[in-house]
Chain A
């Protein structure tokens, strides 16, 4: 009977596996739709708005038009050649899904395809995680654990909630899937798998700039394997075919193009390819020439090469021909960026990671991963070594930059899955073999019974399984909470709680963008700080001067200079660049701290890099950034200050005087602002978005008549042109 049940379960196990996987996929999708449930089906943040706009263009005009698209609505008057300056993977994917669904008779809107694309791909990433872990460990249960962890890990959720229509949403799937196919090709030595890995890599290149991680980690794995004596023909075949095909395919993406050859990011892949050929050649020579001669040759070559490199480096450094780039110096000295490139240090995504960020984004996986690392190294095979290497490299990168936690997340999930499933596998075996164990411990030493392979005190084994279950449940609880509360805000729409606990939606952005769409001329040009460029073109379909692409520093600096100048200079420059409206974000009334006044010093710093007349210290009073009566004259006269605080002096705050800025906690220094060159045309409900029209230049002074009426009359009389005569 027992064997009957066991047999039945074993026969049905593939079905159970599929059901569990399907449930994990559904969970991966559902955990990401909190943003839609709590807010609505909307594209989030900034960059996704550009991706959405381009996808819309693709679906409306077709692939060729999309490829050749010159977008005149952005970077006015420069414009942007979209086809050659983007990673088109996400747009083409959404476009393909949209057209397939329409062909099948599902008239779904492209917006909804874009909104739900990342959750859909999260399910695919779960599957890729399952296959990779199964390939590495040979066990399905580890794969299932990995699928669950990958599907709901907060770090990945942060970039793939419904509405987060960004490159990372599809790229993480491509990353994990490429690793799976590559490991498969190493394990089998099959050219087919290698070609599949190259194709997946091609998709990754099309989708995200993070493809550089793949093209570096695989060569590192290959070199590492050779160095520890794990070189196999499979490794050689898989790498060489992957490298050649992958590099050729990567060149087909216009944005990458010849960078495959010229960029230092690809250098490791070329070097390892050459190294592998030399290694194989060396093997061949060793076979022919004998061990002793080969050793001598190697010594000679290595000594020569090292001497040449050292002498050349010294010469080039001292003669100033070799300079260390900022990036290289940052690697050697982590404080370099802070000292010399403050703009890098200022970006929150580029900040190094604290332990608490690791914990928030990975939770208990940080505890489980070392166990997986242990099992990967102790019972190693090429796949496990690859995962261990991936984990260690990714943890270093994530430590340097918080954004790279996203790349670390799949590695930690797989390592944790390996660690936990191995532990569970052992302890369930201990329970299963309890009878053998019981007979072993009840036997006398004289019986000399050998300890069974799986034998452990039952009560402890049960506690271990209970503890792992508890930690897993707690992890899931954390992930669900994080998905619902921390990572589901669309940024465009904000929610706040009133005094009575009621939820209030702050929808100022859309209100203003809709106003622009409905009340301005089709060819109106809107000037704002670059953060809002993608949203203005996306929501309002109006031309902007700068946007989040930030490719032209001078253009951005010009905007900074205009915001930092007085009204007359600003208006003159705005007219020169043909801007019709100015849009500013102001949070002083509604506790919105991410406003333009708080970003203003960065605008000044960027402007100062191009326009020497703009000086940061002119906006600071003894080093202090102030908006109250202690502010500097330059600050008071700046366009940014005047547009943000125009009519703000009339606003009477609760328990405060008029014109009290609740973000800066200060009463503004200038309450009676009279605009001369601009007129207010729109202010949103909570004053977050304010739009001003640039007034046309005043008429020139009227031409004074050379003579007065009397003398003119006299002159007319003299020529006989009097009123009487005329009549």
Chain B
């Protein structure tokens, strides 16, 4: 009887201690998340707050690398989205403890684990081959020397055709935290579109005001129009939307590649170089027309020849680059061989 009493007392003390520990963990994380939406974890704090038991909260860990960030556009894109989601959760009060027994009422914290020598082991135990990744840890898990026993459905791994789309990441996190949080924008973000519109309008008015005496200057108009033409021909919108890189890498040789294969893709430098060549050809023709006003016949000849070379060079290079991109592009003055195979009566697709 006494033994049983002692056992109950011990259990009571243990539960009390565990409860206090849980409380301390939540309080610490809450305190940390007050200053930063995303808490920075070390190998030690990862073990304490993510792996070990005694927790009544959800912690979402973002696995990435500060060192390789500049070489990893996906890490940059996902980090931005992750920070937005963390801010939204915090602003809507999801970091505050409500009911720690239900997942949908547990406080949610967002953390970041940087890849380093110290944390390398954790990455290996997760079995990561790529960064960035996200893990939604709703409960503690066990570990052995080689791996963690985690629920892989709560893991968002980059690669395997996964796209970094804000809404999809949010849906993934919402699903695992059992909430329906919408992205919340900060005051600055809310006012940003308006600020952009007003800035553009102000700039236009300022421009009109400063050049009001030159509004009828055709050269100014031509310069402006040519800039727009140059930028549009370079496929700038394509570059922005598809986050094109300056140049690419040949997947077979690993060497730098300046022209992307296929007509529906391009690198930033490639687009600008081709647009420059297109503009160069146009400029050559304009220069050619203007040489007629020169008084000196030799200068006229010199600039004339230069303009002709400019035009020829531009059209040759553009045609060459296009041929390189699209191997099937083979226009010729003769009909393709399969057109003239056999007479009309033998239907080769050319009969009337």
Pairwise interchain contact A317-B349, C-beta atoms closer than 8 A: no
Q: Mark A344-357, 1 if CB is under 8 A from B, else 0.
A: 01000001111111
A-facing residues in B303-347 (Cβ within 8 Å): 304-305, 308, 311-312, 314-315, 318, 322, 325-326, 329-333, 336-338, 341
Pick from A81-89, A364-372, A539-547 the stretch touching chain B. A364-372
Size of the chain A interface, CB-CB below 8 angstroms:
86
Contact partner of B295 (CB less than 8 A), chosen from A318, A366, A451, is: A451
Q: Mark A618-645, 1 if CB is under 8 A from B, else 0.
A: 0010111100000000000000000000
Contact partner of B292 (CB less than 8 A), chosen from A228, A317, A455, is: A455
Q: Mark B197-237, 1 if CB is under 8 A from A, else 0.
A: 11000000000100000011011011001101101111111
Pairwise interchain contact B263-A373, C-beta atoms closer than 8 A: no
Pairwise interchain contact B338-A503, C-beta atoms closer than 8 A: yes
Pick from A11-19, A463-471, A507-515, A658-666 the stretch touching chain B. A463-471
Q: Which residue of A lies closest to B187 (CB)?
A: A318
A377: Cβ under 8 A from any B Cβ? yes
Question: A409 → chain B, closest Cβ, in Å?
Answer: 14
B residues in contact with A388, CB < 8 Å = 221, 225
Contact partner of A467 (CB less than 8 A), chosen from B165, B221, B263, B308, is: B308
On whether A352 and B311 interact (CB within 8 A), knowing A345-B241, A366-B278, A367-B278, the answer reads no
Contact partner of A399 (CB less than 8 A), chosen from B232, B312, B314, is: B232
Q: Which residue of B lies closest to A385 (CB)?
A: B221
A to B contact number (C-beta, < 8 Å)? 223
Question: A371 → chain B, closest Cβ, in Å?
Answer: 5
Expressed in whole angstroms, the Cα–Cα distance for A481 and B233 within the complex equals 23
Size of the chain B interface, CB-CB below 8 angstroms:
88
Expressed in whole angstroms, the Cα–Cα distance for A445 and B104 within the complex equals 95
Expressed in whole angstroms, the Cα–Cα distance for A340 and B159 within the complex equals 20
Pairwise interchain contact A623-B315, C-beta atoms closer than 8 A: no
A419: Cβ under 8 A from any B Cβ? yes
B271: Cβ under 8 A from any A Cβ? yes
Pairwise interchain contact B289-A423, C-beta atoms closer than 8 A: yes
Pairwise interchain contact B297-A395, C-beta atoms closer than 8 A: no
B residues in contact with A380, CB < 8 Å = 218
Q: Mark A376-400, 1 if CB is under 8 A from B, else 0.
A: 0110100000001001100110111
Question: A27 → chain B, closest Cβ, in Å?
Answer: 16
B265: Cβ under 8 A from any A Cβ? yes
Pairwise interchain contact B228-A396, C-beta atoms closer than 8 A: yes
Pairwise interchain contact B265-A354, C-beta atoms closer than 8 A: yes
Expressed in whole angstroms, the Cα–Cα distance for A616 and B215 within the complex equals 56
On whether A460 and B301 interact (CB within 8 A), knowing A39-B349, A467-B311, the answer reads yes
On whether A368 and B282 interact (CB within 8 A), knowing A38-B349, A340-B166, A455-B292, the answer reads yes
A-facing residues in B248-273 (Cβ within 8 Å): 263-266, 270-271
Q: Which residue, of B166, B292, B308, B350, has the highest number of chain A Cβ atoms within 10 A? A: B292
Interface class of chain B by DSSP: helix
B residues in contact with A463, CB < 8 Å = 308
Pairwise interchain contact A354-B285, C-beta atoms closer than 8 A: no
A485: Cβ under 8 A from any B Cβ? yes
Expressed in whole angstroms, the Cα–Cα distance for A366 and B308 within the complex equals 17
Pairwise interchain contact B278-A623, C-beta atoms closer than 8 A: no
On whether A355 and B292 interact (CB within 8 A), knowing A229-B215, A329-B193, the answer reads no
Expressed in whole angstroms, the Cα–Cα distance for A391 and B224 within the complex equals 13
B residues in contact with A620, CB < 8 Å = 160-161
Pairwise interchain contact B190-A317, C-beta atoms closer than 8 A: yes
Pairwise interchain contact B232-A396, C-beta atoms closer than 8 A: yes
Pairwise interchain contact B167-A378, C-beta atoms closer than 8 A: no
Pairwise interchain contact B160-A358, C-beta atoms closer than 8 A: no
Contact partner of A395 (CB less than 8 A), chosen from B166, B208, B229, B241, is: B229
A residues in contact with B266, CB < 8 Å = 354-356
On whether A471 and B162 interact (CB within 8 A), knowing A334-B240, A373-B229, A464-B288, the answer reads no
A residues in contact with B243, CB < 8 Å = 335
Question: A105 → chain B, closest Cβ, in Å?
Answer: 24
Question: B229 → chain A, closest Cβ, in Å?
Answer: 6
Pairwise interchain contact B270-A355, C-beta atoms closer than 8 A: yes
A477: Cβ under 8 A from any B Cβ? yes
Pairwise interchain contact A370-B282, C-beta atoms closer than 8 A: yes
B-facing residues in A393-449 (Cβ within 8 Å): 395-396, 398-400, 419, 422-423, 426, 430, 441
A-facing residues in B74-109 (Cβ within 8 Å): none
B-facing residues in A468-504 (Cβ within 8 Å): 471, 477-478, 480-482, 485, 495, 497, 501-503
Pairwise interchain contact A481-B331, C-beta atoms closer than 8 A: yes
Pairwise interchain contact B331-A355, C-beta atoms closer than 8 A: no
On whether A352 and B237 interact (CB within 8 A), knowing A477-B333, A624-B160, the answer reads yes
Expressed in whole angstroms, the Cα–Cα distance for A485 and B329 within the complex equals 9
A residues in contact with B289, CB < 8 Å = 371, 422-423, 426
Pairwise interchain contact B263-A356, C-beta atoms closer than 8 A: yes
List 17 extra interface pairs beyond A460-B304, A502-B348, CB under 8 A.
A229-B215, A314-B194, A317-B190, A332-B193, A334-B237, A335-B240, A338-B241, A339-B166, A353-B235, A354-B263, A355-B235, A373-B229, A377-B221, A426-B289, A430-B292, A463-B308, A477-B333
A-to-B contact residues, CB < 8 Å: 37-39, 227-229, 310, 313-314, 317-318, 324, 328-329, 332, 334-335, 337-340, 342, 345, 351-360, 364, 366-371, 373-374, 377-378, 380, 388, 391-392, 395-396, 398-400, 419, 422-423, 426, 430, 441, 451, 454-457, 460, 463-464, 467, 471, 477-478, 480-482, 485, 495, 497, 501-503, 505, 620, 622-625
B-to-A contact residues, CB < 8 Å: 152, 157, 159-163, 165-167, 190-191, 193-194, 196-198, 208, 215-216, 218-219, 221-222, 225-226, 228-229, 231-238, 240-243, 263-266, 270-271, 274-275, 278-279, 281-283, 285-286, 288-289, 291-292, 295, 297, 300-301, 304-305, 308, 311-312, 314-315, 318, 322, 325-326, 329-333, 336-338, 341, 348-352
Interchain residue pairs with CB less than 8 A apart (18): A228-B216, A229-B215, A317-B190, A328-B193, A352-B237, A356-B274, A360-B322, A360-B329, A367-B278, A369-B282, A370-B286, A374-B286, A391-B225, A419-B285, A456-B304, A467-B311, A505-B349, A620-B160
**5 closest pairs, A vs B, by CB?**
A370-B282, A623-B160, A481-B331, A399-B232, A367-B281
